[in-house]
Amino acid sequence: MLSLSKVVRFLFFIVLFTNCKSDDEDCCVAPSPPIQEGFLGQLDFIKTYGGSLEDDALSITKTSDGGYAVLGYTQSNDEDITAKTTTDSDYWVVKFDNEGNQLWDKVFGGSEDDRGQHIITTKDGGFLITGFARSNDGDVENNQGFYDYFFLKLDSSGNKQWVNSFGFSGSDRSFSAVELNDGDFFLTGFLDVTASDGEGNDNARPAAQQSASHGVGEFWGIRVDDSGNKIWRRYFGGTNNDRSYDVVQTNSGNILMVGSSESEDFDITQPNGSYDFWVVMIDIEGNLLWQKNYGGSGIDVGYAVTKTSDGNFVIVGDTRSSDIDVSSPLGNADAWVIKIDALGNLLWEKTYGGSDFDSAQSVSELENGDLLIAGNSKSNDGNLISNKGQNDAWVFITDGDGHLKWQKNFGGSSLDFINQAIELDNNQIILTGSTQSNDQDILENKGSKDILLIKLK
């Protein structure tokens, strides 16, 4: 006699195949497992960290002991913040074990507004952290103006090994960094070229020409050695706002910067709309190899990039477009994911979300080749089946071709965001961001905004 489970499975396939249409090539293919082997898609824990004021986590990195370290900023000087007495914003680094227990935390900055943006684990087991700072005291050395790139090398215990900063009189902000194959580091973000009067493009064209041909904000890439000393600086863009948010090194040793561009002149040769995903490929000496725009006639912003095992690149962000490169809009704003090859050719693009505002802030390739994508969502339709409140933390997994396999949202009645998600050992996933909620999935709020950690298994 057939067991009940076998009968149910048999009836499922009867329904599946009898409802196939001859012109639907995917319909009659038995569905693949929703997520990779070893990952159940179950919640392990949700935890919050912080103090009575504003605390945010912008980046997370896996550590060699199986734990992870988070970088963001804190205005608090109580609760989980152990080394701070003031209420200005400082870089905040927190080390956790695999179960989300806080092992140590470190605060870096000065007496003004300093905000950490990105952390990486370095080859020696330590960390490089980067962001932007207004201070000119404390840990911050030689601030040149409003905001400067401010970056630090830490050992594995979070102790400061060296610091450096770059900038001019305007708002110059670093958002990401990568350790290069030769042990150097590369920082990316944007430069206020108008305020710098064209400076910041070392060994390029004369400053007078630079100032005449650019303005407002540029992609600004800086290569430093393993002690933080400048090797070269380059900027790229046009006369409007161009901002780089992430960077990777390619298999051939080149450097790929991604972000958004509002310009339609100078380095930008084929703009599509108001803002586009803009991708800039340079060689190891900072020479421009190629640049390309992706998007439609609306606003499209690229936030993160990952190199895939086939040598190509996946870029994520959000789109408000419904034309040109964006083929399947879903709502007000959608999470938009594109895959390009090493020459910038668009291989595929897909949108995810619902009828409201949805965005992807993070992407990485899982061990099995699937894509882990995270961000935030306000929708309760389309790919989303519910919404907890104003804005939810959102994570989803696709296969290598962008087909959605699994998704989940978390949060409470207020604002909840995910800024980065990574894979840990044993197919576990950890997400970090911020929350202002204190209900539903969020059991505790310690202040106006807390660091949010979500672990899935």
Position 203 scores a pLDDT of: 67
Coil, helix or strand at residue 439: coil
Sign of the CA dihedral running 65, 67, 72, 77: negative
What backbone phi and psi angles, to 5 degrees, belong to 298?
-95, -155
Confidence of residue 5 (pLDDT cuts 50, 70, 90): very low
Q: Write down the residue that tokens 């970088």 correspond to.
A: 71
Range with lowest mean pLDDT among 8-17, 278-287, 411-420, 437-446 = 8-17
Residue 236 pLDDT > 50: yes
Q: Is 80 helix (H, G, I), strand (E, B) or coil?
A: coil
Pairing of strands 102-108, 358-365: unpaired
Residue 30 identity (one-letter amino acid): A
Give 391-428 pLDDT, tens digit per residue.
Answer: 999 999 999 999 999 999 999 999 999 999 999 988 89
CA dist 455 to 68, 413, 429, Å? 11, 20, 6
Question: Band of the pLDDT at 83, cuts 50, 70, 90?
Answer: confident
Q: What is the pLDDT of residue 206?
A: 52
Query: In degrees rounded to 5, what are phi and psi of residue 199?
Result: -75, 160
Q: What is the pLDDT of residues 272-311, one digit of tens each?
A: 989 999 999 999 999 999 999 999 999 999 999 999 999 9
What are 136-194's pLDDT values in tens digits? 999 998 899 899 999 999 999 999 999 999 999 999 999 999 999 999 999 999 999 99
DSSP 352-395: E--SSBEEEEEEEE-TTS-EEEEEEE--SSTT-S---SSBEEEE
Q: Which residue has the higher pLDDT, 330 or 17?
A: 330
pLDDT value at residue 17: 32
Report pLDDT digits (tens) over 324-372: 999 999 999 999 999 999 999 999 999 999 999 999 999 999 999 999 9
Would you call 110 helix, strand, or coil by DSSP?
A: coil
Bigger pLDDT: 174 or 207? 174
pTM for the structure as a whole:
0.91
Q: What's the pLDDT score for residue 10?
A: 37
455 forms beta bridges with 45, 430
Confidence label for 39 from pLDDT (cuts 50, 70 and 90) = confident
